[in-house]
Structures are given as C-alpha cells and as structure tokens.
C-alpha cells in the first residue's frame, strides 16, 4: 500500500469529512434505488471506515477527546 500525505487545516478536514459522509450516504441509500445500479458492499464498508478515520483526525486536530461514534466500524 502506498501512503499519501496531505496537509489540511482543521476546517478543510471538517469539510472533506462532511462531503465524504454525504457521498457515502448517497451510495448506501440513494444510488441502489436507481435502475442499473450495481452495489459494492466492500466499497461502502471501506468508505465508512475512512469517514470514521477522518472524523477521528478532525477530533484530534480540535483537541477533542477521540472516541468511537455510534455505528462506527473503524
């Protein structure tokens, strides 16, 4: 696996996390209702884990206590 480092401000990280979460919601609940959509459960699972990691990084950047959120898989 290749590791990529990106520098973001806490505000940019919050924005990116929100956008990723919204897209994940769309892939999980809206897209499956579209004709011809092919589900990829592994991709949705990986997306959930990624969003949770982003949220934890955001919490650390703000100095907030880091804890698992409801429904978190990572």
Per-residue pLDDT tens listing for the chain (74 residues): 899 999 999 999 999 999 999 999 999 999 999 999 998 999 999 999 999 999 999 999 888 776 666 555 44
pLDDT of the residue at 5: 94
Sign of CA dihedral 7, 9, 11, 14: positive
Q: Is 39 exposed, middle or buried (0-12, 13-18, 19+ CB in 10 A)?
A: exposed
Written as six digits, the tokens of 15 are 């924005």
> Structural domain boundaries of the chain?
10-61
pLDDT of the residue at 64: 76
pLDDT of the residue at 51: 96
Asked whether the beta carbons of 68 and 49 are under 8 A apart, the reply is no
pLDDT of the residue at 65: 76
């Amino acid at each position: 696996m290749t590791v990529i480092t990106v520098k973001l401000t806490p505000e940019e990280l919050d924005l990116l996390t929100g956008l990723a979460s919204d897209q994940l919601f769309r892939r999980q609940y809206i897209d499956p209702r579209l004709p011809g959509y092919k589900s990829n459960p592994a991709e949705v699972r990986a997306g959930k884990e990624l969003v949770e990691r982003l949220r934890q990084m955001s919490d650390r950047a703000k100095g907030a206590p880091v804890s698992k959120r409801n429904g978190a898989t990572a």
